[in-house]
Structure 1
Amino acid sequence: MLFFFFYLFFFKLSAQTNLKGKIYFDNEPKSNVTVYLNNTTTGTITNKNGEFNLEVKNGVYQLIISHIGFQTIKYNFDTSTYTKPLVFSLLEEEFVLDEVIINGKENNDEWEYSFSVFFREFIGTSEFSKFCTIQNPDVLFFEFDSENNILTAEAIEPLHIKNEALGYDIFYDLKHFSIEKKFTKYLGYSYFKELKGNKNKQKKWRKNRLKAYNGSQVHFYKSIIKNSSKKEGFVINQFVRKKNNDRPSQEELSKARKELSKSNVALNFSRKIDKPKNSIDSALVILKKAKLPKYIDYLYKSEIASSDIIHKENNQTYLQFDNNLRITYLREKEEKGYILRNPFSKPRKAFLQASNIIPLAEKFIIYPKGILANPLDVLYEEYWSYEKFAHSLPLDYEPNNDD
């Protein structure tokens, strides 16, 4: 399964600023409105006068204003240009759920199945995912487009996700979720709150957070910015992906299936055919080759340096490279669940964690906090597509604090 996984967030570090503001609805101050910096643990709620106050490190952020029944407000701001309190007016949300979605909710079996698929592709199937629960699943609605094989999800209020593996209560404002063919895409805004626990739980959470961070995309991006990827356990290889000419085309496969459908002879796909003697044999040979991969990856550059893929331009840091990257993390092996996720694969021992970065743009801005300005610029494959939301950490997480 491939996936796009992205946060809408902007971040840059330095000193601190006291951020003040006020929220209104119908020209009246609105209390109990959630105000937070996207994908961080920094947030608050407005008081009875609709006011909020946040201490934030200087930089560029995305402020999220969220309240059930109202449209989410997204506000990008730079603390260097912030000079006076911010003022926002809420607008009521208008949910338009068509009959297909509503009926899907009424059909409990269909909803349960869709929810299981959603959980698997959003939260994941890793060890950490077993300790994650969606506290308010009833806010989710699903629609399945059978003609195009697309599953989409909507949430009428932020999802409340409890991650007892990492010690967070997470409020996730889901804006988009879809599964189309082998691609999973989701988009939203996150607010993290630390769970309370005894010393043993705190110790476990610190250990698990460090495990989630090590080898992650954020860890990798931070390491290449610091030019320390090799020191921190990453090996970067470059590969090109080419069409497998040994695999039959869709036209050839269709003709072979049509040929076999006309036959009254019992078919034996396990029979070895060195030299086809008739059209049935030829069709069987073609269909056997359908199991071959559509594409083959060819490694052509090994152990490249961080400096080979990082470029500075106009005070911005860019990630830019030809073809694709293969990232191997040397300090952790794959989870057993990752090895077993394909029930038809042969049993094997755990390998080192390996992931692919497939670029969808010529170059892309990368921020010091280890995120891309536009996460849609890349596609992740293999291990990073396995570690889904259950491994998410707030972007103000610092590994040294939990070491």
Structure 2
Amino acid sequence: MQKILLSVLTIFFVQFALAQNDFYVKGRVTDTTGAPLAKASVFCQNTTLGTVTDNDGNFQLKLPHGGYDLIITFTGYETYQTQVNNNNALNALTITLQPKGKQLEDVVFTSSSELADGLEKYGSFFNANFIGSTEDAGKCQIENPQALKFFFSKKKNRLKVTEREDLVIINKALGYKIHYKLDSLTYEYGNNTCTYTGFPFFEPLEGTPEEQKVWKANRVKAYNGSRMHFMRAWYNHNLEKEGFEIEKVTSLSPFAVETISNPYDSSIYSIDSSEVAINYDGRLRIKYHNEMPEKAYIDFYKLPPQLRAQLTVIEINEGFNIMSNGYFYDQNDVTNNGYWSWEKLAELLPYDYVPEE
């Protein structure tokens, strides 16, 4: 009876949290002398939510309930990043941007050299590892590929890609223009691992009614089974209803698993100030049953053609917290392998996306 009551209270709490009003983030952006920086870009990464500072360096953002990474950029200055959410709404931020130096870049590339033919040699490889190889990836295009800089280190057997200016990607499958501030993409040939960091900002495309209808359907398809969908489902206490199953990986093989019968057990799942804390350290396998994996994924990884679920293995380092919009932190403590890793930028949706019923 106590467990049933706890579940009812949990569901009520989550639904109550989702019903809360939007919150505001306000502040002022200056340089190191205290002078205001006008027209600085202020946005929440991986959203459609952004603005610019006024002539006095002031800004205000209205944000839906949830969590976000607030990003502030200005040409010639280091990027500023901080976390905001409905529990710590910030109404009097003062941000001092630091001038960008060249020393760091010089140190990073002392043993490497920029490849003059990098785009020609590695452009397709970059697209596959950054935009992806899904059906939607074929409908994405980088408008300014010349902004990419390619470096290869023979000693480390490593490819590194940075940018001269923010990338602009047109996703004609989901109907977004994505402004992506790419810190770097690194591919380690020794163990065939790819990592990249950066800050995407989404701008919905204007289209005909027919295009809008296609984009709406494609967004729902991209959302279903995604990491954001999973995080929201775990937050909302409805994993099974949404088609997800969680299993504990018991060895190095992702197929050695045991079922977690109650993913909301108090030993791993708790609520604090409208955040859900996941107290788990180790590997979990996520099964999404409501959609089959794309054929290209099965063919690429030479998986059994009868596979009927999308499988992802996440490795968790000492737990993480989930907000109502599916944002979670610290994101560096969760790494993906499997289907979520295969679905890259082409399938990415902003945190303020909500599928219509």
TM-score, normalization by structure 1: 0.73
Structure 2 equivalent of residue 53 of structure 1? 60
Q: Report matched runs for 1:2-401 at 5 Å.
A: 14-25=20-31, 28-57=35-64, 61-77=68-84, 85-95=92-102, 96=105, 98=109, 103-104=114-115, 106=116, 108=117, 110-180=118-188, 181-242=191-252, 297-299=255-257, 301-302=258-259, 304-308=261-265, 310-312=268-270, 315=273, 316-321=275-280, 323-342=282-301, 345=302, 349=305, 351-400=307-356
Structure 1 unaligned regions, length at least 5: 1-11, 243-294
Give 1:172 deviation, angstroms.
1.6
Range with greater deviation from structure 2 (63-72 or 302-311): 302-311
Instruction: Give the AA of the match of 2:49.
Output: T
Measured after TM superposition, the shift of residue 373 of structure 1 is 0.7
Letter matched to residue 146 of structure 1: K
Alpha-carbon distance change, 237 to 91 in structure 1, aligned in 2, over 3 angstroms? closer
Between the aligned partners of 2:280 and 2:316, the Cα distance in structure 1 is 11
Identity of aligned residues (%): 31
SS in 1 for 2:29: strand
Alpha-carbon shift at residue 51 of structure 1 (Å): 3.6
Rg (Cα) greater in structure: 1
**Could you tell me how far 1:18 is from its partner in structure 2?**
4.5
Q: 1:99 to 1:112 in 2, by over 3 A?
A: farther
Give, in angstroms, the shift of residue 59 of structure 1. Answer: 5.8
Specify the SS of the correspondent of 2:256. Answer: strand
Distance in 1 (alpha carbons) for counterparts of 2:35 and 2:281: 55
Number of residue pairs matched by the alignment: 331
Cross-structure match for 2:6:
none
Change (3 A) 1:101 1:118: farther
Q: Which has the higher contact order (CA 8 A, sep 6+)?
A: 1
Per-residue deviation, residues 198-222 of structure 1 (Å, max 9, x unmatched) = 1111111111111111011111122
Q: Secondary structure at the match of 1:202?
A: helix
- Corresponding letter in the other structure for 2:22: Q
The C-alpha deviation readout for 1:253-284, integer Å capped at 9, x for no partner, is xxxxxxxxxxxxxxxxxxxxxxxxxxxxxxxx
Distance 1:17 1:354 in 2: 35
Local SS of the residue matching 1:185: strand
Correspondence for 1:263 = none
Q: Secondary structure at the match of 1:241?
A: coil
Equivalent residue of 1:307, what SS?
A: coil
Give the partner amino acid of 1:177: L
Call closer, same or farther: CA 1:182–1:103 in 2, change over 3 Å: closer
What is residue 289 of structure 1 aligned with on the other side? none
Q: CA RMSD in A?
A: 2.9
Distance in structure 2 (CA, Å) of the matches to 1:332 and 1:324? 23
